[in-house]
Structure 1
């Protein structure tokens, strides 16, 4: 009888015991091939103090600044922020792996680079860039200032940003979610074992980086990232020579004519939109295209014909009591309607899923029949 309570006594090098049933041998061998944790079986999980290293925070700071610029660019142009978990984990792995290789060649390496340290970097970078978006830097934070109020001809109420209250506001925005996230993590991820999409995908990616085959794949991915980064940078540098103001050059190319250009139908040759379009699902791209046609092609020209009837004829187009007011409040109403629909839809599905999970956990166990197979055991990865 071996340590796992099974007969056979001889333990193979692969970590599985001999079993008289050849089917079980094949199943175990297949599980060993598919197992990720078998690769890290001999590696000790470092303590949390060894995971929070100086090099991790240095790389996190540099990447956080870079990603904050990217998020601000996307926030002020497309308004769509894709998930940056994969790129943060990839760049964090590349920089620290290069760092540790240089130290290893010089004989100064004291601590090997682990996947836990990689996760710390990815978490810090995503959290920092997330604050850039959720903190409202591209929308309401500076939209409350006096400069923006003057542009809308409404200087009666404004709030100029200052570091004091901005720090307090961002602290509340960032840390208030901990009071709901911690109990939800316990219930949904640990107890009910619900799949967390972006976290699961990032975990598999970081695990693959730290395997021998994954390290080679990561090197290819970084090369591809650098190649397309260079092409995009050079194209942006080329466009800069043809940009004399805000509304000229390749960023505002009147592809459909000057009449259509008046209603914002022009072509932007920026590669940012191509990249975001490739990352986002196709339904998002179609939705944006249809929304642009319906709003700028139909609704605003029709409402503009009611000038002097629905709103004052002498009001400028940027005034909230004129055409701009129709744009803003119709858009807000559509966003709130769609958001509430998705909220109740997701809430209903979540409650239904949790109810079924509770019923399954509270169901009485059925006695095993001699002819039935043994209950399914946890895989090695799930045990880890």
Structure 2
């Protein structure tokens, strides 16, 4: 998780969890390459680079198309279809648990399959004019990931939906009209267009410095490039065909399993999703397996440690803490309050979860800056800034500075299609000026000078995030967004709509910082596949534009199809919406709204998250794999344990598969997982259409205790 990836920081366990999912994907990608004899296994980034030094020799005889031929109509058509598909999947994950694994393996694989099939048909009919190249594959992958990334960074499961009256009703605080803005398709699309493109212009002038001069690794972008390069070798194409076939089988199975389950959900708490697999008492405390193909697939992609951490967090909270705090009803909080009230038990669930998330985010923010700042200072003092100096993990020059054939070839083409600096500066100023003039009309609480201050500091923060992501593969976009919530919320003040202003500022900051690091990841991918920087930039712009329209439309479909969307305990509880809103309330109101002893517990868990992270770094990699992740542990504090059981089931399947046949597991596990996620996710689309058409499931499958069943039978007999 994501993640969690530079790009997928749109999931996983929000930020770091998503990035770890991507690291899990990198393991699968390396294994695939090993199977094809393309990449030798290695423990470090430098060794992996050395093992692939001859990749450009393999493609030496192939023509590299100019950037205009890399961005084709067929590539954009495939990108549009896949963007809709992945936006639906990410939106579902966003609105259920907020855990979004890395899906760029699926995007690259399906992009390769669709366009390869397209060109084969044209070739047989004699109509093929241009062969399918790895550069075109890179354009598709970049465009799709940029588009579905908006489904995460757009805040539909966090800050944007946190503005709504549905979320405000749950918080019981700051419910005046100045602190509420309900979703509407028009303003959502307009807001995303205003804030999503600035990050693309902010770092374009620094692309040579980041990619060639500093040799930042960007592990996710590097892994994606190796994946695409492998697809376009004869052996890689053969393996990709088998992977797509496997993905298709599990896609179909997952889709029809979701369709089958729908028939039994004709009421509240009905169907397999409410199956009390561990008993009714455990079910009341949200311990059950809900037969979700999506989260079984997520569990197969995410590292074992992430899944175990989520399970441990669920056991700690729902198995121990909440029952104990519940026994204090009448002492710590009013006995008359329902569990869903934030002044009651729900307050402990939400705010302790927030404390852990903030503690983990603050620690990793400081950790990444501690690596980033010394590296930046080192390069600022370097006299020969034009030299290619490979960097080690700590930002110091690597011992071997030999420039290989691959690097010479890549640098030559990377510098060929220059993106004019004047165009980048002009683009940033123009878009910023439009945003400064327009955003205050969308959010009157956020004044023009608030937006101006954001845009003055955003490029610096975007650079820090992109640089840190290049060194560590950790994108801290949502951490910058949370900082904006507190800073601008306190600046505006509670009496002037600080809650809504904080959430809107979070959206502005998070979008800029996220898209900037995403673009630099794509530049790294393009550098390693010989895709033109100009085609990378344009495909990112097109993908972002697609996402600014597709993502709000998909959310609008969910919002109207599922009337209980955002309600705790519903099919789509959107947990982070309430979390982000309550962060904004804390930012403007302080701690006055917390129930008794909640603040003390928050301090304990905030400090605990920092100490656990510190311990993980002190003991080293050998032992840190046995220490849980605080960010992952925090998620079930609010939601429950059911999805953690699903994810651990996915881990168990993968573990057994690896014991039986590790080679096949490494090659096909990500395809199986992607099929499970995609099939169940796509079923949501027809399910939403059925709900809008008021077509209800015909059966309610519900589970009762024996005593309750006897009472129901007796009652029914009195009616007959």
Q: Is the 8 A contact 2:86 2:148 kept in 1?
A: yes
Look up the match of 2:232: 210
Look up the match of 1:163: 185
**Higher mean C-alpha displacement, 136-145 vs 55-64:** 136-145
Deviation of the 1:247 alpha carbon: 2.0
Q: Is the 8 A contact 1:232 1:271 kept in 2?
A: yes
When residues 72 and 246 of structure 1 are mapped into structure 2, their CA distance, relative to the original with a 3 A threshold, is farther
2:359 to 325, 332, 337: 337
When residues 342 and 33 of structure 1 are mapped into structure 2, their CA distance, relative to the original with a 3 A threshold, is closer
Whole-angstrom distance in 2 between the partners of 1:161 and 1:169: 11
Question: What's the RMSD between the two structures over aligned residues?
Answer: 2.6
Deviation of the 1:172 alpha carbon: 4.5
SS at match of 1:340: helix
Look up the match of 1:68: 87
Q: Is the 8 A contact 2:79 2:144 kept in 1?
A: yes
Q: Is residue 2:93 matched to residue 1:106?
A: no
Whole-angstrom distance in 1 between the partners of 2:309 and 2:51: 44
What is the 5 A alignment of 1:1-384? Answer: 35-150=54-169, 155-156=175-176, 157-182=179-204, 185-354=207-376, 377-384=402-409
Look up the match of 1:28: none
Cα-to-partner distance string for 1:28-68 (whole Å, 9 max, x where unaligned):
xxx99962212322223222221111111110010000001
Q: Which has the higher contact order (CA 8 A, sep 6+)?
A: 2
Cα-to-partner distance string for 1:142-198 (whole Å, 9 max, x where unaligned):
332223434555643421112343224323542233355435644332211121111
TM-score, normalization by structure 2: 0.45
Deviation of the 1:354 alpha carbon: 4.8
Whole-angstrom distance in 1 between the partners of 2:383 and 2:108: 36
Cα-to-partner distance string for 1:304-333 (whole Å, 9 max, x where unaligned):
222222222222222222222222111111
Segments of 5+ residues of structure 2 without an aligned counterpart are 1-49, 386-399, 410-720
Q: Is the 8 A contact 1:32 1:38 kept in 2?
A: no
When residues 89 and 32 of structure 1 are mapped into structure 2, their CA distance, relative to the original with a 3 A threshold, is closer
Whole-angstrom distance in 2 between the partners of 1:203 and 1:317: 49
Whole-angstrom distance in 1 between the partners of 2:51 and 2:301: 33
When residues 250 and 33 of structure 1 are mapped into structure 2, their CA distance, relative to the original with a 3 A threshold, is closer
SS at match of 1:38: helix
Whole-angstrom distance in 1 between the partners of 2:292 and 2:166: 28
When residues 169 and 289 of structure 1 are mapped into structure 2, their CA distance, relative to the original with a 3 A threshold, is same
Whole-angstrom distance in 1 between the partners of 2:239 and 2:283: 45
Q: Is the 8 A contact 1:242 1:250 kept in 2?
A: yes
Look up the match of 1:14: none
Cα-to-partner distance string for 1:320-372 (whole Å, 9 max, x where unaligned):
22222222111111100110001111211233445566778769xxxxxxxxx
Deviation of the 1:250 alpha carbon: 1.8
SS at match of 1:167: helix
Segments of 5+ residues of structure 1 without an aligned counterpart are 1-30, 364-374
Deviation of the 1:245 alpha carbon: 3.0
Look up the match of 1:13: none
SS at match of 1:58: helix
Q: Is the 8 A contact 2:170 2:342 kept in 1?
A: no
When residues 159 and 118 of structure 1 are mapped into structure 2, their CA distance, relative to the original with a 3 A threshold, is same
Whole-angstrom distance in 2 between the partners of 1:275 and 1:33: 30
How many corresponding residue pairs? Answer: 344
Whole-angstrom distance in 1 between the partners of 2:328 and 2:289: 29
When residues 173 and 316 of structure 1 are mapped into structure 2, their CA distance, relative to the original with a 3 A threshold, is farther
Cα-to-partner distance string for 1:229-282 (whole Å, 9 max, x where unaligned):
122223223322332334232212212222221111111111111111111111
When residues 291 and 324 of structure 1 are mapped into structure 2, their CA distance, relative to the original with a 3 A threshold, is same
**Higher mean C-alpha displacement, 146-155 vs 247-256:** 146-155
When residues 256 and 377 of structure 1 are mapped into structure 2, their CA distance, relative to the original with a 3 A threshold, is closer
Deviation of the 1:91 alpha carbon: 0.5
Q: Is the 8 A contact 2:53 2:406 kept in 1?
A: no
When residues 64 and 33 of structure 1 are mapped into structure 2, their CA distance, relative to the original with a 3 A threshold, is closer
Q: Is the 8 A contact 2:93 2:99 kept in 1?
A: yes
